[in-house]
Amino acid sequence: MKKVLLSKPIDPAGMKVLEGKVKPVILPDSSLETAKRLAIDVEGIILRTNIKLTREIIEAAPHLKVISRTGVGVDNIDVAAATEKGILVCNTPGVNSISVAEQALALMLSVA
């Protein structure tokens, strides 16, 4: 079964989606050495904001095919290193647009 490295635990509903399709491996800490060690045999990484996915980690993952960022930005991923290795990098643009708009309106109303 293919392994996917999760930089942090995800919502139980998300874990249920992965169940039976891949073997999730949760990063126990955000150290570079741990990330490199666990990345050796993964084909995918689901990345949150707790770690920077550096060239060093990407190069330590010879089977890596995709990096999925659970957020809008990819500033914590060395996209150039991933691109050089033919690794797909994806994110979730616009996922929080409604929440941000609601918060902005609520803040405006709170000071009115």
Domains and their CATH numbers in the chain: 3-111 (3.40.50.720)
pTM (two decimals): 0.84
What string of pLDDT tens digits covers the 112 residues of the chain? 999 999 999 999 999 999 999 999 999 998 999 999 999 999 999 998 889 999 999 999 999 999 999 888 899 999 999 999 999 999 988 877 888 899 999 999 999 7
Structure tokens at 63: 């089977």
